Structure formats: C-alpha cells, structure tokens
C-alpha cells in the first residue's frame, strides 16, 4: 500500500475509509496467496508423494501392544504419530519402517528381538490392504502407480546383526533393504555419535576392518548404507569405502543446530561427492538447539543444505514415533504439506521440491541396485570377527566335544540305565516281604 501513497501528489489527503478498504484488500491478497501456496503444495504432493526415510512405528507397536496386531487398528492409532489415515493425509506414499531394538540388547538377544520387529513389520505391510511390502526401487514405482503405501524395511543399528555377516544376509532375505551402522552405542566394528552407552570404547572412532567388510557386503547385497547415528569418522570412512551412494536417513544440518546427531558441512560435501542423500530429521532437539522448533526452523535446515550441496542431495526422514517432541505444526505424519508449503513460499522450485519428496531417494536406490548388479558375480564375504574381539559372554563358541566329555557322557548313560532294574528289584522285595515274614 505504501507505493500507492508514494505516487500520490504532495498534499493529497487520503480518506480514512479508503485506507481501511485498501488494508482489507491487501490482507485478502495475502490470504489468497497463502491459500495458493497450500493448494500448490497439495497438488505437487499428489503428483510426487512423499518417500519418508525413517519411521519408528514398530517399536511403538511393541510398547503399546507387545506386537499383538489384533489389539490395534492401524487405520486409526491416536496413541502414536503414525497411522494409515494420517499417512494418506500427509501424501506419504513410501514409508521406510525401522526394525529397532534398544542398545541394552547388545551382547544379549538383539538378533531375536530384531527378528521379532521385522516380523511385525512384515505382518503390518501384508495384512493391511492399503500397505504393500516393497523390496526394490521398481517396486516403489509400481506401488505408487497402484495407489498403495509402499513399506521398505530397515534395521536401525548394527548391534542387531551381532557382528555376523550371515545374520546380515538373512535380514536381507527377509526383505530388509537398509541398515544403520550404529544406533546410540558402539558396536565392535563401528563407532556411534552418542556417548550414552559404554559398549566397546575405542580411541579410533572410525570403522574397523570388519566394519569395512559390512559396508562392502551391503553393497554386494543391494542394501542402503545408513549413517544416521554414526560418528563423523565412521560416516566419512563408510562414504569412502562404499561403492554405492549412502544416506543419512534422519539427520539434519549441524550448522543450523549443533547437535552431534546432525551433519557438519565438511561431511555434507563428502556425501555429495558420493551422490548420497541426507533426509532431514524433524525431532525438535535436532531442529532447534535454541528456541522453539517450528516449521520455519525445519525449513532453515533445508535451506542451508541446499545452499551447501544442492537440493538434489536432500530428502525427508521424519523420525516419527522415534522421538518425543516435534515442531509446532509438524506433530505427526499428516502434517507434511505444511513443510512443503513453507519450502514453496521460500521460492523453492517445484522440480527441487519434487526431488526432495521422492525422486532423490529413488535415484539413490536405483544406484545401490546398479552397484549390486555389477557385483553379482562376487561371492558372499566370509569376513569374521574373532570371539576375543566381540567379547560377547552370551555367545557359544561351537566345537567338537572332547574324548573326556564323550566318556563321561557314556558313563552317565550307563549308570542311568542300571537304575530302573535296581528300582524294580526293590519294589518286588517290598511286595514279597510280608509273605516271607509269615513263614517264620
């Protein structure tokens, strides 16, 4: 409105009613513009629906129902941030679901617990007709064409394979297509970004030789290497070792919020060289280190990463149901349109936003599978860690029983075989004793 006043002749008196009408007019224009951004966001997302790189619904199923699906309705599950109705509202067409178990299970029953989480996710994704279990990039495209929500399975934390490449391969056979090298604890072969647990302390925060073998085997299988939760040194080494692009499935920009779970600029540049992807996390603690987390604060992370390495290296990894606080306006999976509306308001092009929504992830998945196909003649890795390196007291080291054990076992069996006859003679004597006594 100020430009109109500036163009008026000097001394012009503008009636109050005119000013009020102009103010109303400009307010309406602003509202119409906002509605236009919202409409653009929904229209764009209907054509390029979201691939969300990380969701922890599975651990909530364990917490709320002990994995008993008969006790929940995933069309309407208000106790958590994710259900089918809200995924539809948020234009989420592909959800990467994490099979996650607490670090406290390391060196105990982490493999069993992870198998149970994979099992419940497979059931979710096959028993609900809105969902479809998908194991390839082409499967994602087919599911989008069919109008179903594609489920991609991931394992969150290398402690879930108990330092075993055969266990890694079996998870792949079950449909797992991504694994985070660590969670909030070190493994014997990789360092975490967290100091919450004291598992396997080390001075070198990078990958060991076995850790490199894990990355190489994931390349051979066609599993996406996920570096969220890894130490920066582990992440840098994994980027250099991997023949395929890698991802941070749910991490944000360290330059915007200096949390150790976020990614510094120098590491973003390494990621870019590999053609990888950072999928921005929406956990409030990673979004706003100071002040309140908002949609605008999340968009600041997108802006910074775009400025640093380009929009083609960015995706979305909401971390819903894996955190306890989310930004105002982004409280659950239905709210993604508000984030996209903000990016459009900040003059992101529709092509850039479409890449963030899904196409950047598809490019990475395609490339991971291309590397897998190149390595198809390579045999499975037989790399192992020595028991003294793993230091897992719950592991049984298989070996043939010694001769002494065999002899002892046979003696025990022989002794046991003599007991029934002795017992029979004793019973017979007790039965005959009264008759024998009457003879005297």
Model pLDDT for residues 242-271, shown as the tens digit of each residue: 999 999 999 999 999 999 999 999 999 999
DSSP annotation of 387 = H
Verify whether residue 367 is a known catalytic residue. no
Distance separating alpha carbons of residues 11 and 129, to the nearest angstrom:
71
Mean pLDDT calculated for residue range 120-133: 98
- With cut-offs at 50, 70 and 90, classify the pLDDT of residue 28: very low
Distance separating alpha carbons of residues 409 and 133, to the nearest angstrom:
50
The contacts of residue 312 (CB under 8 Å, 6+ apart) are 352, 355, 360, 363
Verify whether residue 42 is a known catalytic residue. no
Candidate list 48, 91, 159, 229, residue with the active-site label: 229
- With cut-offs at 50, 70 and 90, classify the pLDDT of residue 342: very high
Mean pLDDT calculated for residue range 354-369: 98
Verify whether residue 56 is a known catalytic residue. yes
Walk me through the domains of the chain, giving residue ranges and CATH numbers: 46-388 (3.20.20.140)
Candidate list 48, 91, 250, 304, residue with the active-site label: 250
Strand partners, 155: 99, 179
Verify whether residue 399 is a known catalytic residue. no
Verify whether residue 422 is a known catalytic residue. no
Distance separating alpha carbons of residues 428 and 141, to the nearest angstrom:
80
What is the predicted pLDDT for the residue at 142?
98
Distance separating alpha carbons of residues 15 and 351, to the nearest angstrom:
46
The pLDDT tens digits for 32-89 are: 445 688 999 999 999 999 999 999 999 999 999 999 999 999 999 999 999 999 999 9
What is the predicted pLDDT for the residue at 402?
65
- With cut-offs at 50, 70 and 90, classify the pLDDT of residue 297: very high
Candidate list 83, 107, 156, 217, residue with the active-site label: 156
- At residue 311, does pLDDT exceed 70? yes
What is the predicted pLDDT for the residue at 397?
78
Strand partners, 40: none
Candidate list 52, 226, 270, 319, residue with the active-site label: 319
Distance separating alpha carbons of residues 246 and 234, to the nearest angstrom:
12
Please give the residue that has the higher pLDDT: either 147 or 416: 147
DSSP states along 93-114: EEEEEEE---GGGTTTTHHHHH
Helix or strand (DSSP H, E) at 277: strand 277-280
Helices and strands counted in the chain (H then E): 17, 9
Q: Calculate the alpha carbon distances from 161 to 11, 113, 171, 261, 390 in Å.
A: 81, 11, 9, 22, 12
Judge contact between 41 and 63, C-beta under 8 A. no
Candidate list 52, 56, 217, 300, residue with the active-site label: 56
Verify whether residue 269 is a known catalytic residue. no
Helix or strand (DSSP H, E) at 92: strand 92-99
Residue in the structure block whose two tokens are 């209907």? 46
Verify whether residue 250 is a known catalytic residue. yes
Nearest CA to 83 among 64, 57, 63?
A: 57
Highest mean pLDDT (candidates 15-24, 91-100, 400-409): 91-100
- With cut-offs at 50, 70 and 90, classify the pLDDT of residue 432: low
CB atoms within 10 A of CB 167: 17
- With cut-offs at 50, 70 and 90, classify the pLDDT of residue 404: low
Which phi and psi angles does 66 have, rounded to 5°?
Answer: 55, 35
Strand positions, DSSP E, 108-249: 131-133, 149-156, 176-180, 224-226, 247-248
Distance separating alpha carbons of residues 388 and 161, to the nearest angstrom:
17
Helix or strand (DSSP H, E) at 434: helix 403-438
DSSP annotation of 13 = P
Distance separating alpha carbons of residues 296 and 281, to the nearest angstrom:
14
Judge contact between 115 and 123, C-beta under 8 A. no
Residue in the structure block whose two tokens are 């603690």? 285
Q: Which of 34-48, 105-119, 168-182 has the lowest mean pLDDT?
A: 34-48
Q: Which of 79-88, 189-198, 418-427 has the lowest mean pLDDT?
A: 418-427
Distance separating alpha carbons of residues 132 and 145, to the nearest angstrom:
12
Mean pLDDT calculated for residue range 213-228: 98
């Amino acid at each position: 409105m100020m430009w109109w006043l500036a163009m008026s002749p000097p001394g012009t008196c503008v009636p109050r009613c005119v000013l009020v009408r102009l103010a109303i007019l400009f307010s309406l224009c602003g509202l119409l513009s906002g509605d236009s951004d919202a409409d653009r966001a929904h229209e764009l997302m209907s054509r390029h629906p979201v691939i969300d790189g990380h969701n922890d619904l599975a651990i909530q199923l364990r917490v709320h129902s002990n994995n008993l699906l008969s006790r929940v309705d995933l069309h309407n599950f208000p106790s958590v941030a994710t259900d089918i109705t809200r995924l539809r509202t948020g234009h989420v067409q592909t959800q990467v679901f994490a099979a996650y178990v607490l670090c406290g299970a390391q060196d105990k029953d982490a493999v069993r617990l992870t198998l149970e989480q994979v099992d419940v996710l497979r059931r979710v994704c096959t028993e609900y007709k809105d969902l479809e279990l998908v194991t390839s990039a082409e499967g994602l495209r087919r599911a989008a064409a069919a109008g179903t929500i594609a489920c991609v399975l991931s394992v969150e934390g290398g402690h879930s394979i108990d330092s075993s490449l055969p266990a890694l391969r079996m998870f792949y056979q079950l449909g797992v297509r991504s694994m985070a090298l660590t969670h909030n604890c070190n493994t014997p072969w990789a360092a975490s970004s967290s100091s919450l647990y004291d598992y396997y302390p080390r001075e070198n925060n990078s990958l060991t030789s076995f850790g490199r073998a894990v990355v190489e085997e994931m390349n051979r299988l066609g599993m996406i290497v996920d570096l969220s939760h890894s130490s920066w040194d582990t992440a840098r080494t994994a980027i250099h070792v991997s023949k395929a692009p890698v991802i941070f499935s749910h991490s944000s920009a360290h330059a915007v919020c200096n949390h150790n779970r976020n990614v510094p600029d120098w590491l973003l540049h390494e990621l870019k060289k590999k053609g990888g992807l950072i999928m921005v996390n929406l956990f409030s603690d990673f979004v706003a280190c100071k002040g309140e987390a908002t949609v605008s604060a999340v968009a600041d992370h997108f802006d910074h990463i775009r400025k640093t390495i380009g929009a083609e290296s960015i995706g979305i990894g909401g971390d819903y149901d894996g955190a306890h606080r989310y930004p105002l306006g982004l409280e659950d999976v239905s709210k993604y349109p508000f984030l996209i509306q903000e990016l459009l308001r900040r003059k992101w092009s529709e092509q850039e936003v479409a890449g963030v929504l899904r196409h950047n992830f598809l490019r990475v998945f395609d490339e991971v599978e291309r590397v897998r196909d190149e390595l198809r003649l390579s045999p499975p890795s037989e790399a192992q860690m020595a028991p003294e390196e793993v230091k897992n007291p719950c592991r049984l080291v298989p070996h043939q029983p010694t001769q002494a054990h065999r002899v002892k076992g046979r003696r025990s069996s022989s002794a046991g075989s003599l007991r029934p006859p002795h017992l029979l003679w004793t019973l017979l004597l007790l039965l005959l004793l009264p008759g024998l006594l009457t003879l005297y």
